[in-house]
Structure 1
Amino acid sequence: MTERLLVLAQFYLNPLETPRLDVAQLQRLHWLLTSYHSDTGGYSVRDILRQLSPDCGDLIIRGIVYGSKVNTSQMFVKRPTSSNVCCIFNYRRPSYSRFARIREEDNAEMRAQPKVVFESNSILNSVQFVLQDTPENDRTNTFMTNNAFQLKIFPQEDYATVQSTTLGEMLVDHNTIVEIPIQPTFFSSSEGVRTVPPQARRCYFPEEGRKVLNQTYYSIDECLLLCRSQSMMNHCGCVSPPMIGSSTNVTYCGLPDLPCLSKWKSIWYGYDEYPYLQEGKDQMAQRECTHCLPTCNGVSFSITSNVAPLRRNYNETGYLMGLLKGLTNERPLAVIKFFFKLRFAQATKSELVSTWVVLLNRFGGILSLMYGFSIVSYIEIFYYLTGKWFVYIYRSRSKRTVRAGHSLYWDELMPKRFRTPN
C-alpha cells in the first residue's frame, strides 16, 4: 500500500521526475480513496500529502529565538507546496484547503503562533534551529538525490514555494553549522515613474498589481502561481492540489488526471511534446507569463552562508552543552542560524530622469558637441537630398532656355562681319 501511495508524489511539479503511472492502478487507488472518504465529500490530495509527511517537531527538534528556547512544534506550520511539504516559520498566509473545517483549523494554528520580528544583527541573538533528518527506514519520498535540508526564504504572505527564486534558496548538508546573514535592500519609485508604461519600466505599483490579479494582494510569485494554475485549467480542466493558492472557481485534479498533468509539465518546462495542443500553435507560449512583473516598491534580500563542520559526538550520552545538549548523531543533525548582516540597510529610489523630448534634446546636443551637428543640420541635409535637387534642375533648364533665346535674338541683330563663322 505504501508503494501505491507514493504515486501521490506525482502531483508535485518537479520538472525532471520520471512519472510512474499505471492507469489501471490509478483507477483502483482513486476508487479506494473515494470510498474511504465518501463521508467527507471526497478525498483531498493536498491534505493526504500533508498527513503522510513528517511532523515539523520531528524535523526541527530544537530552537532558540533571541536567546530564549522555544517549542518548535508551535513555531512552525506544515503546508503543501508545488514541490514538497514544507515546515514554515513565521508564516502569515491563510490556508487554502478544499474543506472549510481544515481551513479553520489551519488558520487557528497560524494565529496561535507567536509573531517574530527580526531586529538583531548579532549572531549571539540570532534565530537558531536544530534540524534532524528522518530515520533510514522512513518511506518519505524525496525528489533530490543528495542528503541535505532545503531552505527557502520568501515573504510571509506569499505561496511557500519560491517561484521566481529572487530572495534565497540553499541546501544545508548533514552535520554542519550554517550561519545565514541576511541583508535587506529597500527600493521605491517616484510618482513620475507612473507615466511610463509597466512593460517599459518593468514593475507594477500596488494598485496596478491588484488590478492585474483582481485581488488585494500582489507579488510576482503570486502572479506566477496563478499563471501556472490557469495554464493547467486550460489544458487539463483542473489544477494540481498542492498548487491551489488564492485561485477561486478551480477544479481539483484527482488521480485519473495525473497523465494529463505529466504531459502539462513536459510542455511547461519545455522538454517534450504536448499532444493536446492544436497544430501550428506555439507550444512554448504556454509557459510564458510575461505579464508577471516585480513590484516598484518593496524590499529584496540577499543572503550568504558561512558553513562549518559539526563535531560528531561519540559519547553515548550525547552532546554535553549548548543547544545540542543530550542529542546524539544517531540521526544526521544540522544547525542553522539566521540574523541580519548589518545594522543598516541600503535604500534605492527610481526617478524619471527625462521624457522623450528632453532625451531628443540631449541627443542633439551630444551630436552638436561631437560633430558640429544640430537638429537644423539634419533638416538641411534632408532638404538638399530631396527638394534642393529638383529646384536646381528646374532652374538650370530655365536658364538654358533664356540663354538660347538671347543668343538667337542677338545673332539676328548683329552685323554679319561680327558673326562667328560656322
Structure 2
Amino acid sequence: MAERLLVLAQFYLNPLDTPQLDEAQLQRLHWLLSSYHNDTGYSVRDILRQLSPDCGELIIRGIVYGSPVNTSQMFVKRPTSSNVCCIFNYRRPSYSQIAHIRAEDNAEMRAQRKVVFESNSILNSVQFVLQDTPEDDQTNTFMTNNAFQLTIFPQEDYATVQSTTLGEILVDHNTIVEIPIQPTFFSSSEGVRTVSPEARRCYFPEEGRKLINQSYYSIDECLLLCRSKSMMDHCGCVSPPMIGSSTDLKYCSLPDLPCLTKWKSIWYGYDEFAYLQEGESQAAQGQCTHCLPTCNGVSFRITSNVAPMRLNYNGTGYRTGLLKGLTNERPLAVIKFFFKLRFAQATKSELVSTWVVLLNRFGGILSLMYGFSIVSYIEIFYYLTGKWFVYICRAFTKRQPPRAVRGNNSLYWDELMPKGLGLRVPN
C-alpha cells in the first residue's frame, strides 16, 4: 500500500519526472481513498502532509540568539509545489482544504515565537541541526542527490521561489554551512506612478493586489496563480499542492494525474528552433508576462561558507556544542543564519524627466552639435512653405504699379515697404 501511495508524489509536477501512470491503478486508489473518507472527497494536500516526516525528525536541535529552542514548535509543516517543507518564522495563513485543519494550522502559527533577525554576528546567530531520514524511509524528495534543500523567501510569500533561484541553497551531508544574508531595500517615488507598469516594469502594492485579486502580491504569487489558471484551462482543475491561498479553484484528484502530466510537458515545453518558426511559441510560460516584481520591497543576496564536519567514529557521539550526544548514524548538517553587515543598502527609483524635459534636452544636444536649436527647424519649415505661400497670395491680390516706376526693385522690396503706404504716379 505504501508503494501505491507514492503515486501521490506525482502531484508535485517536478519538471524532470517522467512517471509511468497506470489509469486502472489510479482508479482503484481513487476508489479506496474516497471510501476511506466516506465519499466526501479527500484532500491530496493533507494526505501528503500526513505521510511526510514531522519537522522534529528533520530539524532535531536549534539555538536562537544563544538560547536553545524546541524545533518542533519553531517550524510548521506545509505542502508546496515541490515538496512538503518545514518552514521557520512563517506568517502566511494555512491553505488546507479542510476547515478544521486550516483553523488548527492558523492557531499553531499564531502561537509560534516571532523571530526578528537583529544580529550580524555568527556567535549570536540562528542555528539548526538537520538530520536526514533513515535509509529505509520512502519519503519522495525533489532532489535526487543527497543534500538538504533550503529556500529563503519573505514571510508572507508562497513557500516556493518560482521567479529566481537566488534564495535556494543545497546543504551537503556532514557539513557546517554559514549563511550570511545581505538585504537590499528598494522603493519608488510617487512620480513613478505616472509611468505605466509596462514601462517601469513593476507594480505598486495596490496595483498588484488588484491585478491578482489577493490581499498580498508578489511576483511568485502572480506566477503561482498564472500556473493555476493554465492548469484550469487544460485540465479543469489544479494540482492540490499548488492552489495556495485561492479557495475558488477545483482540486485535482488521482484520475486527473495523466492530464496534469500532459500539462507539465506543455508548460515546460520549448522549441529548439523557435526563431525559425512563424507564430508564437506554444510554451505556456509565455502567458505570464504580466507578472512583474514590486516597486517597493526588499531583496536578499545569499552567500554560503561551507566547512566539513568532523565525523565521530567511535560511536560515543559528540561531546560539546550543539551536536553534543549526537552520532553520525544518520547524516547531519549544521546551518547558521545571520546578517552579513550592520547596514543595508537602500535604493530609490525617481522619475528623472517627462517627455517635455526630454524634448528640451534633445534640443540642447542639437544646439551643441549643430549650432542651432529645434526652433531653427521650425523656421526652416516656415520659410520653405508658409513664406512662399504668403508671397504668392500677395502678388495676386495687391495692385501692381507700372513697370517703369517699379524699376529694378528686388524680390524683397515689397516686404521692406511700410504697410499702408501708397504710391502716386503722375500722369
Opposite residue 322 of structure 1, the aligned amino acid is G
2:19 is the counterpart of 1:24: no
Gaps of 5+ in 1: 273-279, 399-405, 407-422
User: Does the residue aligned with 1:232 lie in a helix, a strand or coil?
Assistant: helix
What corresponds to 2:73 in structure 1? 74
Contact 1:167 1:300 in 2 (8 A): no
SS at match of 2:107: helix
How many Å apart are 1:383 and its aligned residue? 6.2
The answer to whether structure 1 residue 132 and structure 2 residue 137 are counterparts is no
1:253 aligned onto 2:260: no
Q: Is the 8 A contact 1:204 1:296 kept in 2?
A: yes
Alignment of 1:10-409 (within 5 A): 10-38=10-38, 41-165=40-164, 168-271=167-270, 283-285=282-284, 287-379=286-378
Structure 1 residues 285, 232: closer, same or farther in 2, change over 3 A? closer
Q: Given residue 54 of structure 2, which amino acid in structure 1 is its aligned partner? A: D
Q: What is the Cα deviation at residue 288 of structure 1?
A: 2.5
CA displacement at 1:377 relative to structure 2: 3.7
Equivalent position SS for 1:114: coil
Residues 378/336 of structure 1: CA separation in 2 closer, same or farther (3 Å cut): same
Q: Distance in 2 between matches of 1:86 and 1:257?
A: 24
Q: Which residue matches 2:419? A: none
- Say whether the 8 Å CA contact 1:268–1:287 is kept in structure 2: no
- Residue pair 2:366, 2:374 contacting (<8 A) in 1 also: no
Residue 277 of structure 1 corresponds to: none
Q: For this pair of structures, how many residues does the alignment match?
A: 392
The 3-state SS of whatever aligns with 1:288 is helix
Give the match for residue 6 of structure 1: 6
Residues in 2 aligned to 1:285 and 1:381: alpha-carbon distance in whole angstroms: 54
> Aligned partners of 1:363 and 1:344: how far apart in 2?
40
- Whole-Å Cα distance in 2 between the matches of residues 170 and 386 of structure 1? 69
Q: CA deviation at 1:382?
A: 5.3
Looking at structure 2, the residues matched to 381 and 30 of structure 1 have their Cα atoms a distance apart, in angstroms, of: 81
Amino acid at match of 2:159: A
The answer (yes or no) to whether the contact 1:178–1:336 under 8 Å persists in 2 is yes
Answer whether contact 2:230 2:284 (CA < 8 A) is retained. Answer: no
Residue 45 (structure 1) shift = 0.5
| CA displacement, residues 328-364 of structure 1 (integer Å, 9 cap, x when unaligned) | 1111111000000111111111111110110111112
Residues 96-115 of structure 1, C-alpha deviation per residue, up to 9 Å, x if partnerless? 11110111111111112111
Q: C-alpha distance in 2, partners of 1:254/1:233?
A: 13
The structure-2 alpha-carbon separation of the partners of 1:361 and 1:60, relative to structure 1 and needing over 3 Å to count, comes to: same
| Rounded Cα–Cα distance in structure 2 between residues aligned with 1:229 and 1:382 | 58
SS in 2 for 1:38: coil
Distance 2:203 2:142 in 1: 35
- Give 1:194's aligned amino acid: R
TM-score between both structures, scaled by the size of structure 1: 0.87
Of 164-173 and 102-111, deviating more is 164-173
The answer to whether the Cα contact below 8 Å between 1:13 and 1:265 also exists between their aligned partners in 2 is: yes
Residue 76 of structure 1, CA deviation? 0.4
Per the TM alignment, residue 374 of structure 1 is displaced from its structure 2 partner at its CA by: 2.2
Letter in 2 for 1:126: S
Shift of 1:16: 1.6
CA distance in 2, matches of 1:382, 1:344: 58
**Structure 1 residue 386 displacement after superposition:** 7.3
How many angstroms apart in 2 are the aligned matches of 1:166 and 1:191? 31
Report the CA distance between 1:371 and its aligned residue. 2.9
- State the shift of 1:4 in Å: 1.3
Consecutive aligned runs of 4 or more in structure 1 exceeding 2 Å deviation: 280-288, 370-374, 376-392
Q: Is residue 92–residue 110 contact of structure 1 (8 Å, CA) maintained in 2? A: yes
* CA separation of 1:389 and 1:169: change in aligned 2, threshold 3 A: farther
**Residues of 2 paired with 1:188 and 1:381: CA distance?**
46
Could you report, residue by residue, the CA deviation over 1:101-136 in whole angstroms, capped at 9, with x for unpaired residues? Answer: 111111111112111111111101100000111111
Residue 364 of structure 1 contacts residue 374 of structure 1 at CA under 8 Å; is this kept in 2? yes
What is the rounded CA distance, in whole Å, between the counterparts of 2:321 and 2:327 in structure 1? 13
Distance 2:13 2:359 in 1: 49
Amino acid at match of 2:85: C
| Distance apart, 1:71 and its partner CA | 0.6
Q: What is aligned with 2:275?
A: none
In structure 2, distance between residues paired with 1:124 and 1:146: 31
Instruction: Calculate percent identity across the aligned residue pairs.
Output: 88
Counterpart Cα distance in 2 of 1:381 and 1:96 = 69
Q: What is the deviation of 1:211?
A: 1.1
Deviations 1:248-301 (A, max 9, x none): 3111000000111111111111249xxxxxxx8852356431221111111111
Q: Structure 2: 5+ residue runs without aligned partners?
A: 272-278, 397-402, 404-427
Q: 1:20 to 1:133 in 2, by over 3 A?
A: same
- Asked if the contact 2:174–2:331 (Cα under 8 Å) also holds between the matched residues in 1, the reply is yes
Distance 1:383 1:215 in 2: 57
Q: What is the deviation of 1:385?
A: 7.8
AA in 1 matched with 2:5: L
